[in-house]
Structure formats: C-alpha cells, structure tokens
Amino acid sequence: MLKQSGLGIAITGSGSATPAAVVDNHRLATLVETSDEWITTRTGIKSRRLATPEESLSAIATSAAKNAIAMAGITPADLDLIILATSTSDDLFGSACKIQAELGASRAVAFDLTAACSGFVFGLVTAAQFIRTGVYQNVLLIGADILSRWVDWSDRRTCVLFGDGAGAVVLQANESDRLLGFEIRSDGTQNNCLNLAYQGQSKELIDGVSIAQGTYQPITMNGKEVYRFAVQKVPEVIEKALFRANLTVEEVDWLLLHQANQRILDAVANRLKIPTHKVISNMAHYGNTSAASIPIALDEAVRQGKIQPGDIIATSGFGAGLTWGAAIFQWAR
Ligand code: UT7
C-alpha cells in the first residue's frame, strides 16, 4: 500500500493553541436574537474561543507551532520552510515571517497561503511538493484564523458559527510516503457565496487618476448554498483522493473534516457510509475556526490517544473561493 521512495512525506508532530476566552451559546443569545437550541440543532456548536485585543494571530500560531515542533522532536533551527495558512493575518503582507522570527527558525523560508477554510489541506499539498521534489526536508504547516475580527456581530446567520484558534503540523521527508493521495479543487464561479471582501471609496488622487481606499468588510455568506456545495463536493473529492491512494472507504480509520457544521459532517459520513464512531468532531467547543479547524481536531485526537500510529485518516477542507480538497494520510508517529 505504501509507496517506497526516498522522497516520501510523513506528519511527525501536531500542536494547537486556542484563546482562553470562551463564549457559549447562551451568552451569544444576549447579543443577537438566537438561542442555544437553534445553534445546537442547526450546527452542533455549543461554544467558541475568541481572541482578546492583546492576542495576535502570530502569537497563537507560534504557540501551536511550538507544540508541533516539540512532538516531532526537532528544533526550530531544523525547519526549512514555514507555511501559514490563514485568511486573517495580523498584516496583509503576511504573518509567516513574524512567526519564523518568534520561533527562531532562522534557516526557514516563510510565507502565507490563503485558501480560506481549505487552507490547511492546500498547505499540506503545497508542503508535500517541496518535500517530494527533495528541495526541503522539514516543513512547518500552520492553520490559524481569528475570524472574530471580521464577523458582523449583528448578523445572527454568521456570527454564531465562527471561533478563533491555531493548529500546526510538522511534515518531514520520510523513507515511506504517508501522504497516500490527494485532490484539490476551486470554483470561482461561486465566489459570491462566501466573502470577506475589500470595499474602497473612489478618491481622486491627482487630476484624472482615482484610487480606491477603504477596508475589508465583514463576512457575508449564503449559508444554504455553501451547505449544498459542501455536502455534494466533499464526498466526491474524498472518493477521488481515496482512488488515488488505492484505498477503499472501509480502510479509513478516521474522517477528519473541516469543522463547519455537525450536519455537514453527518451528511458526508452518511454518503460515504463511514460510521459515526470514525468521525472526529470537536466543533461543539470551538465552532468553525476556518484554516485552524482540521489541525486543532487532529492534534486533540492524537493527544487523546484516539489516533494511533498506522491509522488512515481521510481529511477534507472546504470553503470560500470556493475551494475544497481532500488528503488521505497515515499517522506516522
Ligand atoms: O467554512 C465554511 C463556512 N460556512 C459553512 O459551512 C456554512 C454552511 N451552511 C450552514 O451551516 C447552514 O446553512 C447554517 C447553519 C448557516 C444555517 O442553517 P439553515 O438550516 O440553512 O438555516 P437558514 O439559513 O435556512 O435559516 C432558517 C431560519 C431563518 O428564519 P426564517 O427565515 O425561516 O424565519 C433564519 O432567519 O433560521 C433563522 N436563523 C436563526 N435563528 C436563530 C438564522 N440564523 C439564526 C440564528 N438563530 N443564529
């Protein structure tokens, strides 16, 4: 089953970090017209963590990264590459270099990657290309988002869904290849379903030359369309990745989806005929943490001893873009 080559890839460490402040559904119901009952039955979310003004994206991402590096048994100086998957950098020029400095990973090249809630899976595939081509051996991949800074807190259709956090993995060159298959996709024709878009006011700079200056506007979402998209495309892309891995659905030990909505997880598992006990879910505690949701859930399941060495994990991210993707990997530690 495993491809034998000197240019394989293995995930050798995971880590996560979430802000301390917890806001449960009851407290949200004091902010917008909603209820614990509605949020729980429609989404499975019970509470979420929110970053305080003092907590930066790079700080929580660095904490998650340190935990992943420790589990992998390497030092920051061993890192060749740092990829930060995020839509909510502290700085529009990117936050990966700040994390590189905070870690003291002086040899590593660092950059941000944006693919919304698919960012972790897209980052995994990107990291794999650098390792498989023999360019780099040790890669840190972080998925981190602070969407609370970009949610419209007066819009009950979106504000109840999101939370903040960071998760990270270390990927290393490995004798046998533990990334067994993947497939990533984009469809920009549905771009207007989920946006955090820039809006500028036209301003005449000099005679005959106008520019647009403004800011990013809070998240807008067509929930029904995104739901429909996820339930249709996620099973398809997982099946494609499994085909590439030459594995059957029955051989999957864990289904690890982007934690957007429990109903999406249930519907995807149902379509793939994957039993509930194989579905990893922690969104009740964190809500949708965008690019961070998969690595946070992975790290929790590993540290709880649920995921064991040799287990086959089918993971899938999906979201704005629209973007979606799946990766099948074997836990190596
Ligand atoms: O990372 C990807 C990010 N996005 C997603 O994954 C979102 C995917 N979509 C979803 O998860 C679901 O569509 C939602 C959870 C967002 C919404 O669930 P729904 O079952 O599609 O509800 P709906 O939008 O059809 O709204 C049903 C009703 C509406 O009332 P009316 O028009 O029927 O009277 C809404 O106004 O529920 C109302 N509603 C709420 N009520 C209480 C919407 N949000 C809330 C709320 N509390 N928070």
Query: Is the residue at 43 inside a domain?
Result: yes
User: In the prediction, which pLDDT does 6 show?
Assistant: 61
What was the pLDDT predicted at 187?
A: 98
Q: Does some domain include residue 199?
A: no
Domain termination residue (choose one: 178, 209, 235): 178
Q: Is there a catalytic annotation at residue 159?
A: no
The reported pLDDT for the residue numbered 333 is: 72
Cβ neighbours of residue 149 closer than 8 Å, sequence gap 6 or more: 51, 88
- Letter for the amino acid at 257? L
Whether 2 is covered by a domain: the verdict is no
- Domain, as residue range, for 302: 181-189+220-330
pTM: predicted TM-score of the whole model, two decimal places? 0.96
Q: CATH no. for residue 258?
A: 3.40.47.10
Claim to verify: residue 146 and residue 22 sit in the same structural domain: yes
Q: Which residues on neighbouring strands pair with residue 237, listed in sequence order? A: none
Whether residue 269 contacts residue 316, with contact meaning beta carbons closer than 8 Å, is answered with no
Identify whether residues 12 and 157 lie together within a single domain.
yes
258 is catalytic: yes
pLDDT tens for 267-318 read 999 999 999 999 999 999 999 999 999 999 999 999 999 999 999 999 999 9
117 is catalytic: yes
Q: What atom in ligand 1 is closest to the CA of residue 156?
A: 48
- Torsions phi, psi for 142 (to 5 deg): -120, 135
Q: Rounded to an integer, what distance in angstroms lies between the CA atom of residue 23 and that of residue 20? A: 10
Per-residue confidence in pLDDT tens, the chain, 333 aa: 444 446 899 999 999 999 999 999 999 999 999 999 999 999 999 999 999 999 999 999 999 999 999 999 999 999 999 999 999 999 999 999 999 999 999 999 999 999 999 999 999 999 999 999 999 999 999 999 999 999 999 999 999 999 999 999 999 999 999 999 999 999 999 999 999 999 999 999 999 999 999 999 999 999 999 999 999 999 999 999 999 999 999 999 999 999 999 999 999 999 999 999 999 999 999 999 999 999 999 999 999 999 999 999 999 999 999 999 999 999 987
Alpha-carbon gap, residue 17 to 62, rounded angstroms = 9
* 117, 138, 193, 285: the active-site residue: 117
Total number of domains constituting the chain: 2
Q: Do residue 234 and residue 285 come from a single domain?
A: yes
My answer on whether 30 and 169 are in the same domain is yes
64 vs 52: CA distance, rounded Å: 17
Q: How far is the CA of 228 from the centre of ligand 1 (A)?
A: 12
Q: Are residues 174 and 229 in the same domain?
A: no
CA of 87: how far to CAs of 40, 148, 235, 315, 320, in Å? 26, 12, 25, 20, 10
Instruction: Please tell me the distance between residue 223's alpha carbon and the centre of ligand 1 in angstroms.
Output: 6
- In this structure, are 167 and 185 located in the same domain? no
For residue 113, the one-letter residue type is L
* Helices 96-103, 57-72: crossing angle, 10 deg rounding: 50
Nearest residue by C-alpha to atom 21 in ligand 1: 224
Question: Coil, strand or helix: which one is 160?
Answer: coil
CA-based end-to-end distance of the chain: 18
Tokens 């836990």 locate to 331
CA of 286 to the centre of ligand 1 (A): 18
